[in-house]
Structure 1
Amino acid sequence: MTPPHLPARRRFFARSSGLIAAAALPAWAHASASPNAAAGRSLEFFHTHTHERLNLVYAVGDQFQPDSLGRLNRFLRDHYTGEVGSMDPLLFEQLHRVRALLGARMPYDVISGYRCPDTNGRLRQKGGGGVAKKSLHMEGRAIDVRLPGVPLAELRDAALSLQAGGVGFYPDSQFVHLDTGRVRRW
């Protein structure tokens, strides 16, 4: 057990030091090697805009579950227009691995999943910042989340430790952006 008096960043690294090397392996390798591989990998979400909840097994072994991927696509739809995109399943692997690294039990709070080009353009025009012209949200390759009970900086650090894509840190807006693009941070 990690002492509670350590700063959040140290607690994260103390908890995850043994998992960092394992995180470099593909997610299905973790599942296949675990005694609960048959149970599959699951995710749980609460959408902050639609107030919907979703809890499902999205993969068993090295197989993504098509019905679950369809439910995830619908859940992570553009909440402004209702348009459903096709989310990259590797994004779910990242989310699963981050949650495992952190030992988190609470559902992810979803701020934004898929965004259609019209929504992305409108958000850019509003000038709120942080909306890229060629956002990976429009390709279903990005998600903005937080994990209740986990400091935002710890969530960011866990995502960065995977080296699995882009990680954006938005402390003022209280979310972390994860994507399946090239490895980068901001």
Structure 2
Amino acid sequence: MPLHPLMPVHPLMPAAAAVVAALTATPVAAATVQQTLLTCQVSTTSERPITFEPPVRLLPRNVTARATIVLTGCASSAPSAAGLRSGVMTVHSTGRASCAGVRDVRGKGTITWYGADGTQTGVSTVRPSVEQVSGYNPGDMLLGGRVTKGSLAGSSLAGTATPTSNVNACATRGLGAVHGTGRITFTS
């Protein structure tokens, strides 16, 4: 609205005009949206639980976790993941773990992928890397990180699992192994 020479000027008008000018002159950055590429169910096998060396206890200490995790029922929403229906992830990582969580996770692993007909369709190299996992399942330290090479290279992975074996003795006797099931998601 144009100002009339006899119209009183409100003290906030110049400031409001400056804000409006700044908002209209500065382009608004678009928010980065992660695209889900693939989601799979994960589980340990009866023969191969996730193992911890030394066993996880009440107080935090450096622990190495190793696992062979089966990925099944994979559903893709991107062409780059269309042929991936299941997989086997072999991974090991280290972190400062306790019964209540894990910090500073680092490691390496691979995922061998299979198509709907059961034939191998690719291999991914993964780098588990999580700053912190809070919760009662230190096995989650294996389900976060990045795919560095192969199928889905450049994507992030994040997942959680629920223990299917008894973890009640973690604080008193330590936890050397755990079975579990859960879900993992790969995003771009």
TM-score between the two structures when normalised by the length of structure 1 = 0.28
Higher normalized strand content (fraction of residues) = 2
User: Greater relative contact order (Cα 8 A, min sep 6): structure 1 or 2?
Assistant: 2
Q: Which has the larger radius of gyration?
A: 2
Structure with greater helix percent: 1
Q: What is the TM-score with the length of structure 2 in the denominator?
A: 0.28
